[in-house]
């Protein structure tokens, strides 16, 4: 935690002066509660935007995608949508993107993946069944939707966050327990949403 604090402060002092999320902080259309919810993303952008090693493979980036998800849908739903995107931002994203014939960003070649994609394919899998499967076992709905690797990543992410939450609560960590608990809930809801989304938009 100490090193994260140092990184953020160094980025504020020596990094670039403006970040994409700053426009949301200046907007009168975004409530104060939602602006407070965006603070972790703002901190991340101040680290990631100052390092080429942390460039996102998607357009818009996961941090911008997440900030608009929270802005449009609130903290709980927005966090779930953001969790889905982060799970999909894995080494297999290019494979699925190419297989489905999705577009690439003309300037830098990143994978275009908007918050509200256009429905272009005929239904082959049921979004309701996919969501129900991931409700029972996180990741299984993505597997049902022919996204095996995304499903595996989703299950692994949920398992890691749930395990961390369990041990944080068991060791009576007053801050880590609730923080990781919220993270686990977000990942769980994100798996349900992600399974529904993969069946509806991507096959």
pLDDT in tens, 117-149: 876 555 678 999 999 999 999 999 999 999 999
- Calculate mean pLDDT across residues 70-85: 96
**CB-neighbour burial class of residue 203 (10 A; exposed 0-12, middle 13-18, buried 19+):** middle
**CB-neighbour burial class of residue 67 (10 A; exposed 0-12, middle 13-18, buried 19+):** buried
In this predicted structure, what is the pLDDT of residue 54?
87
- What residues contact residue 203 under an 8 Å CB cut-off, 6+ apart? 100, 121, 124, 125, 145, 146
Which alpha helices (DSSP H) does the chain contain, by range? 2-14, 22-26, 32-37, 39-48, 62-73, 75-88, 93-99, 127-136, 140-144, 148-170, 176-201
Q: What is the pLDDT of residues 4-48, one digit of tens each?
A: 555 555 545 444 557 899 999 889 999 999 999 999 999 899 888
In this predicted structure, what is the pLDDT of residue 3?
55
User: What is this structure's pTM?
Assistant: 0.88
Confidence band of 82 (pLDDT split at 50, 70, 90): very high
């Amino acid at each position: 935690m100490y090193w994260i604090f140092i990184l953020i402060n160094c980025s504020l002092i020596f990094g670039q002066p403006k970040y994409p999320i700053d426009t949301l902080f200046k907007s009168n259309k975004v409530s104060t509660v939602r602006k407070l919810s965006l603070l972790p993303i703002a901190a991340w952008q101040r680290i990631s935007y100052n390092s080429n090693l942390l460039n996102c493979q998607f357009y818009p980036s996961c941090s911008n995608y997440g900030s608009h998800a929270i802005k449009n849908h609130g903290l709980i739903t927005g966090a779930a949508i953001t969790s889905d995107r982060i799970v999909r931002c894995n080494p297999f994203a290019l494979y699925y993107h190419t297989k489905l014939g999705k577009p690439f960003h003309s300037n830098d070649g990143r994978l275009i993946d908007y918050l509200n994609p256009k429905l272009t394919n005929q239904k082959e899998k049921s979004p309701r069944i996919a969501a129900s499967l991931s409700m029972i076992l996180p990741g299984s709905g993505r597997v049902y939707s022919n996204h095996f690797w995304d499903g595996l990543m989703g299950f692994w992410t949920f398992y890691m966050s749930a395990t961390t939450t369990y041990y944080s609560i068991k060791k009576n960590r007053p801050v880590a327990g609730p923080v990781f608990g919220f993270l686990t809930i977000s990942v769980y809801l994100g798996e349900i949403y992600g399974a529904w989304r993969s069946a509806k938009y991507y096959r």
